[in-house]
Amino acid sequence: MRLTINRNLELIFKFSLVVLLSLNTAFAQFAYTKGNMTDFTIDSQVLKEKSKAFVYLPDDYDKNSEKYPVVYVLDGEYYFSLTTDAASLLAQSGIAPNCIIIGITTNNRGRDFSPKVDEDSGQAQDLKTAGGADNFLEYLEKELIPNVEKKYRTQPYRVIIGHSTGGLLAYYALYKKPNLFQAIISIDGSTWWNKGKIGKELIDFLNKNPDFKGKIFECRKDIKIPVRFPANVELLDYLDKKRPKSLEYSYLELPNETHGTIVFPGTYYGLKSILADYKNKKN
């Protein structure tokens, strides 16, 4: 499914969401005093460093024995509060279920979120500093997620959301660790990385696994930049028209946003798409 939001609708959305999230933030601050937000630190043996994670629990978490889906937010230092506000608003409106939200932090996002680059990629500056994505996914799989699922009551339904290079990592996880997340949200993801190799590898994976089940929500400023990012167009075309029937895909284009501002509406619409669908299927 592809959708483009025009300028007028986008302005209405922004105004409405700013007002609603501002109101919701007041409640979120009050909820914080009740212990619904916390954090913990992992002395990671995989990363060889300490890594902090933020945690949001629904208001009624301590009042029942319910299990919750979990949303993992990359760049948690910046986007954790935004994500918790959007998710709370959707849940309180009855659109999406309550969920646990984990804000993932990193000491070096350029290293941790990016796959290795080839020598002919044209990214010579990244050959030595990037390429830690496989190691970071191992950290998520072997340390962070088991830690979360040991501490909290979770459903076997995990969503990862990432912006820019974080969106690249979300796509990478989809085929490198196909059982790790049941849905991904990629907001202006850097799928051009390494001459678009990630898109080619994903297409190859899906062609070899025609029964692969999952959900993708992709949000971009503009996909129509074939001169600079032809790989983005190729991947979008495949996902839109040729993907396996068992793989659900939604694409939202917001041409009036910038690479920085798109994370705000992209987070809201991504959570709405993924979590509302989860709630409907569960019911």
Q: Determine the pLDDT at residue 7.
A: 52
HSE value, Cβ hemisphere, 13 Å, CA-based, for 34:
14
Q: Determine the pLDDT at residue 32.
A: 34
CATH superfamily of 2-282: Alpha/Beta hydrolase fold, catalytic domain (3.40.50.1820)
Q: Determine the pLDDT at residue 126.
A: 60
Ranges of the chain whose pLDDT falls below 50: 12, 15, 19, 23-35, 226-227
HSE value, Cβ hemisphere, 13 Å, CA-based, for 205:
20
| Domain layout of the chain by residue ranges | 2-282
**Tokens standing for residue 281:** 């299927």
Q: Determine the pLDDT at residue 281.
A: 74
Environment class of 86 (CB within 10 Å of its CB; exposed 0-12, middle 13-18, buried 19+):
buried
Q: Model's pTM, two decimal places?
A: 0.87
**Tokens standing for residue 155:** 């459903």
Any idea which residue has 């060889």 for tokens? 48
Q: Determine the pLDDT at residue 33.
A: 31
Q: What is the 8-class DSSP label of residue 143?
A: I
Are 191 and 231 contacting, i.e. CB atoms less than 8 angstroms apart?
yes
